[in-house]
Structure 1
Amino acid sequence: MLDLIKPIYPLFFKLLQQEPESAHRRLLQILTQVDHNRDRHWGNWLEQELTQSFSYEDSRLEQKLWGINFTNPLGLAPGFDKDGVAARMWQSFGFGFAELGAVTLHPQPGNQPPRMFRLPLDKAALNRMGANNQGAQVIASRLAEVNPSIPIGINLCKSKITPLENAAQDYLESFRYFKNCADYFVVNVSSPNTPGLRSLQGEEQLEGIIETLQQENQGQHPILVKISPDLDWNAIASIIALATKHQLAGLVATNTTTEKTGLKTKKLNGNPLLEEAGGISGEPLKERSTAIIRFIWQQTQGKLPIIGVGGIFTPEDAWSKITAGASLLQVYTGWIYQGPWMVKTILQGLVGRLEATGLTHLSEAIGQENL
């Protein structure tokens, strides 16, 4: 099937260029139909073909982190499957885990379109979706019914209508819906597309959210915080200190960046790119996110697990983040540009790197450049 899909992918990508959000929505609709018909011959056949084409298994890539088994370190980043409609399908594309959301307590439509753009000259994307989703209750009910076979994380975000001073309670109520159907949680205080959200990265505000969630959690589930690449080193160090103090499971580095200078794309939607709101993902984020991963690992001597995300397109990109200190990785923009076979290519490449460096397991490579 891979040989059948690959030649038509440039055409599919051209469609994404013209109507990114509509194409995204259609892809999720197709995957939902396959999932709903998995007990029928054609649905079962297609799922098996996807798995055969895009999956790759090697015991050297397996990890147990936070008591959770990950068959490989590469996960789907949040933002792709906001409502969990294809949660059971991501294993078929070779992912070792998937993070759903961002999920808010209250359903919300997000920002006005157009709100998703591809920047091919920069191998990047700009989005200002605004955490559009069906709300925690609906998504949790859906997830409880499908029981995915890979670990599922939930990216929790503050509802737009909730005042900043009530953020902790908003996160808590969302968390309660997912306590029995998710494997780990990420507190998203770093999206640039919810007004005021990034202010919650401040020590006092963030500590209140963490304390509230940890009191409810009682050590049952891993809770991580996702940080912005636009923070300075002192601010990142403060978050690391909070994570250590409150025994968080780890950090996710990083969210999208609002930094748009230096990009090859100068205009978007007929306007100067610098005037367009939204966060940049993809290649322009790669070096900064890797530097932050390295900083976190060095500050904690590798004791705080990191999910690395930002600008992963190749096995070399993935290896750089792992050797800088990431235990797990997430992709989104790279997967769109490179095609669905990217997961298999990266996993095979990681095994090749292990063999070339004389390492017997991926865990030996984590933070290796810092030793």
Structure 2
Amino acid sequence: MDTVRHYTRLSQKNFSIDTNFYPLGSCTMKYNPRACHSLAMLPNFLARHPLAPDSTGQGFLACLYELQEILKDVTGMAGVSLTPMAGAQGEFAGIAMIRAYHDARGDTARTEIIVPDAAHGTNPATAVMCGYTVKEIPTGSDGDVDLDALRAAVGPQTAGLMLTNPSTLGIFERQIQSIQQIVHDAGGLLYYDGANLNAILGKVKPGDMGFDVIHMNLHKTFSTPHGGGGPGAGAVGVAPRLLPFMPIPLVGMVSTEQAVRYRWLTENDLPQSIGRLSAWMGNAGILLRAYIYARMLGAEGMHRVAEFATLNANYLMAELGRIGYTIAFPQRRASHEFIVSAKQLKDTTGVSAMDIAKRLLDKGFHAPTTYFPMLVPECLLIE
């Protein structure tokens, strides 16, 4: 009994999603339902070998196929690939598909990807890894993309624009229809960074906004464990024009009068695919957890996720504003995260955003994201 008590006490020293919450902005550290974990650990899922014949894994393939269909419906996209194993890898897949699309049309003069100055750092890194140069455009004082700067930036050299909506500033991009029109009129494609998809889940679809490709952080929006750097799943969704270039494998369904059968779709089915990004089917256990989470929620549950994420963010933003923190965009409603600035506090007392974050740790609270995005001085990004 002493041994049990000893290790129980040690376990209670850990800071975990079971004992507290993580207000890390742009990270969506949601609670991970134990039911998702338990079902994904069923022996027939857990022990399945990736080289097992399709005929012996129809249940597994059916789950992945249905997850593809759920994500298509959630995002308004024409197709979904589950194989990328992280958000950054999903980004890479998306921009690689944009490049493959332009190359297939012989439009090789398109050498630039446009990125707002409030973007996640992975956006310009992804563009460079895919062989593009990066053109940064500014954010207006109201938090929206500067449309005049965007109009000046686009041209025959534009391959696409990478955009997070809601942005890392925690506000919804109100000019999205104008943005997509400007980019598409210039011959470019529109990329959706799905890091903040949780804010609009079940409410609005990126496909309806005019996006051509999206990556989804299933380990964030669909609540699978992602502390400690992994594991992740960066599923990508595409508009019809990018369907031939999706990464493989996919899961296809063959329906006959006698039965429904599922099978892998490979290079033979998609000869223009950008190829494989992971061994087998990516992080299959994470995909199963995401599928179970989506089925548990249903359409109405997804609506409530976005509603409560937004409600919680606006409540906390109002409370922090009430006690004296400077709200970065007080005239705008928070989507699911928001920014407060400690600049005034630092100027008057010398206490910085970093000091606040470290003191929260001293008191047993996880600190929010600090000093990102860099547009706001002494920034605390809270989700």
TM, length-normalised to structure 1? 0.30
Q: Could you say which structure has the higher helix fraction?
A: 1
TM-score by structure 2 length? 0.29
Answer 1 or 2: higher relative contact order, Cα 8 Å, separation at least 6: 2
